[in-house]
Amino acid sequence: MNDILPEHAELWTFFEETVQDWLRSYGYRSIRMPIVEQTALFKRAIGEVTDIVEKEMYTFVDALNGESLTLRPEGTASCVRAVLQHNLLYNAPQRLWYMGPMFRHERPQKGRYRQFHQVGVESLGYAGPDMDAEHIIMTARLWRRLGLPDIELQLNTLGTGEDRTRHRKRLVHYLEQHLDQLDEDTRRRLATNPLRVLDSKNPALQDLIEAAPRLLDDLDEVSLKHFEALQAMLRDAGIEYRINPRLVRGLDYYNFTVFEWVTTRLGAQGTVCAGGRYDGLIEQIGGKPAPACGFAMGVERLLALLEEYAFQPPQIAVDAYLVHQGEAADKFAMAAAEQLRDQGLHVILHSGGGSFKSQMKKADASGARYAVIVGDDEATAGEVSLKSLRELEGQVRMTVDAAAGLIGTAR
């Protein structure tokens, strides 16, 4: 779990503001859920036989009432719970988004942390492939806005429940013929949830997984139609993709579309965004059946990618640093700083005393463009002295309003 220090905060702020602006441009509204939920919600929504529920959740007992609670490992379950609890789907579908920390007890490594952040987007109540397409098209636009090239779109479909039942038989038959090659995890999954075997990260199993029967070959007409329609919309939008028949996603609740955006620039943790359709989830956690789809981006991975491309966030510069000395000056400076801020300027008021010389050093180090100097002379006259910290000019006496005007126009 990482601290995000001020030297990194500008990149985070830039990213968050870009994302908010982007989501607004597609008409998505924000929702904020608590970071703790009843454990049962995640078990029901994500599925018992998943990495997350089997070994990654931070679960604890509430000492007050013995209830089992869990730090959220992802946002979809909480979002859908909130939407149902507050009846938001009563007469309108919803386009929603959230951003915040998620918690998974994983082995920490580059791009994999125990507290990490996701931007999640959920469209609830939309059945058509146009919504799957919207999600993919909008993420493509975000990569463009962020100046991130070379993120590959991988696409697959998980079909319907019936498709998967049919496929399951063929897959189990195949895996049973290779029992000796399976590890302990996949052997267990073979019995409980064989599709999850395809999700295994064990390098020794990759060849076996590669040669396994493909769900794509077991799809019925409805699934194929949805998948074809989505692909046609992506082609119309000029979005390139690669069909990856092995893409199954770590969570249980998906049907039809699944997708991942993957980069080769971040080593093993290359998936920066993942999502798909989950028409069964709302009913599974107690709501009236309604279709839905969504995706989540890994913020740390996207920021690492921005840094990989040497991206510099816009600097939020300090406009003025106010130095002041003397009883009358201290008082006047405090009011002057507020007056400058009234004009929309970013102003640091020196704190902690010291000589003019040492205060000027702090002004320089702050990165401010101007020093605004107040001695008792200035205070008595109700004025300040303005000095550029970027150019070798002297200092000029003027009113606070005049200083605000000058600093503002020079911005």
Judged by the rule CB under 6 A, the positions of this chain that interact with ligand ATP are: 74, 104, 106, 111-113, 116, 118, 250, 269, 271-274, 296, 298, 300-301
- What the block records as the tokens of 388 is 């550029």
CB of 46 to ligand ATP, least distance (A): 9
CB of 59 to ligand ATP, least distance (A): 16
- What the block records as the tokens of 241 is 């993709």
Residue found by looking up tokens 């309003």 in the block:
401
CB of 54 to ligand ATP, least distance (A): 12
CB of 118 to ligand ATP, least distance (A): 5
- Residue closer to ligand ATP (CB basis): 109 or 380: 109
Measured distance CA(174)–CA(190) in Å, rounded:
11
- Residue closer to ligand ATP (CB basis): 296 or 407: 296
- Residue closer to ligand ATP (CB basis): 11 or 406: 11
* Run of H or E residues at 229: helix 221-236
- Residue closer to ligand ATP (CB basis): 56 or 376: 56
Look at phi and psi of residue 273 and say left if phi exceeds 0, alpha if psi is from -120 to 50, else beta: beta
- What the block records as the tokens of 155 is 């696409």
Look at phi and psi of residue 238 and say left if phi exceeds 0, alpha if psi is from -120 to 50, else beta: left
- Residue closer to ligand ATP (CB basis): 118 or 160: 118
Measured distance CA(133)–CA(238) in Å, rounded:
12
CB of 139 to ligand ATP, least distance (A): 12
* Run of H or E residues at 341: helix 327-342
CB of 273 to ligand ATP, least distance (A): 6
- Residue closer to ligand ATP (CB basis): 112 or 166: 112
Measured distance CA(23)–CA(305) in Å, rounded:
20
CB of 8 to ligand ATP, least distance (A): 15
Q: What is the DSSP letter of 369?
A: S
Letter string b/e over residues 159-188, b meaning 16 or more CB atoms within 10 A of that residue's CB:
bbeebbebbeebbbeebeeeeeebeebbee
- Residue closer to ligand ATP (CB basis): 5 or 63: 5
- Residue closer to ligand ATP (CB basis): 32 or 110: 110
- Give the CA distances from residue 265 to residues 18, 137, 139, 241, 361, in Å, rounded to whole numbers and listed in that order: 22, 22, 18, 18, 41
CB of 74 to ligand ATP, least distance (A): 5
Q: What is the DSSP letter of 213?
A: P
